[in-house]
Structures are given as C-alpha cells and as structure tokens.
Amino acid sequence: MISLLLDSQALLWAMDGSKHLGKTARALLKAQNDPVGISVASVWELAIKHARGGIDLPDDFVDKIAEAGFQILPTSPGLFWRAGHLPRHHGDPFDRLIIAQALDMALAVMTSDAIFPSYGIKVVDASR
C-alpha cells in the first residue's frame, strides 16, 4: 500500500541523488517498505520541462522511475475535477493535481513547497 507521494522536484532529487534532498527525507525513502507513489502529473510536468529544454532527462525516464522502485499512480476524471475545485492557495495545475491525489488517496506528500500544507494534507519536507 502506498502512503507517500513525491512531488516533481522531490522525484528529481531522489532520482539523481541530489544533495538538495534532505537527510531525513532520504532516510524516509530508504525506510519505506511500501512503494512510493508518483503522480502522472509529475511525469507530465517533467516531460513538458524536458521538451522545452528546461531540464535534461533520459528518453527512458519513465522506465527509470519504475526501476528506482517508484510507482506511477493512475488518475481519473474525478481527480481532475477535484483538483479544479481546490481552494486557490496554489495556482500550479500540476501541484494541484498532486494535492488532489494526496487528498483522494490519504497520502503524505514529500515536497519543499511551503503552500502544500495549506490544503490540510500531511507533508514531509523534501529539503530536510
């Protein structure tokens, strides 16, 4: 059962072993017995950034996510509807979908985004 969802930045940090991923966050990821979730929204966001030249990712990045032991979570029309009806604390549509998914599945989100807690979800600070 999945209990933790990474946002896009935390995913990148975890995938490349970045020093930006904090020691506590890194230890939590290593200690997980269950798969760690990745939203389709993160895959979509990173694909767009890659296509625009904003980040360098391998062509088989989606395969690499699975090889790293992360599980890409499905979405549904209802999830998009929920994201669209969240309070306007956050304007980023990708983050709003991640938040809606966390609410829908009762997941904690690993992020360094200070706005996420405004939605009443459990947040793990990715930078700590």
pLDDT in tens, 15-34: 999 999 999 999 999 999 89
pLDDT in tens, 59-75: 999 999 999 999 999 99
CATH number of the domain that 87 lies in? Answer: 3.40.50.1010
pLDDT in tens, 108-126: 999 999 999 999 999 999 9
Give the chain's domain count.
Answer: 1
Strands in 4-6's sheet, in edge-to-edge order, are 70-73, 36-39, 4-6, 108-111, 123-125
| pTM, entire model | 0.94
Q: What is the CA radius of gyration of the chain?
A: 14
Q: In angstroms, rounded to a whole number, what is the distance separating the alpha carbons of residues 101 and 28?
A: 20
Pair 95, 75: CB distance under 8 Å:
no
Looking at the DSSP assignment, which residues form a beta bridge with residue 109? 5, 123
Burial label, 14 (beta-carbon count in 10 A; 0-12, 13-18, 19+): buried
Range of the domain at 75: 4-125
Element (H, E) at 49: helix 40-51
- For residue 43, what are the contacts with CB-CB under 8 A and spacing of at least 6? 62, 65, 72
Query: Hey, what are 20's tokens?
Result: 């930006």
Residue 38, SS3? strand
Pair 101, 80: CB distance under 8 Å:
no
Note the pLDDT of residue 1. Answer: 76
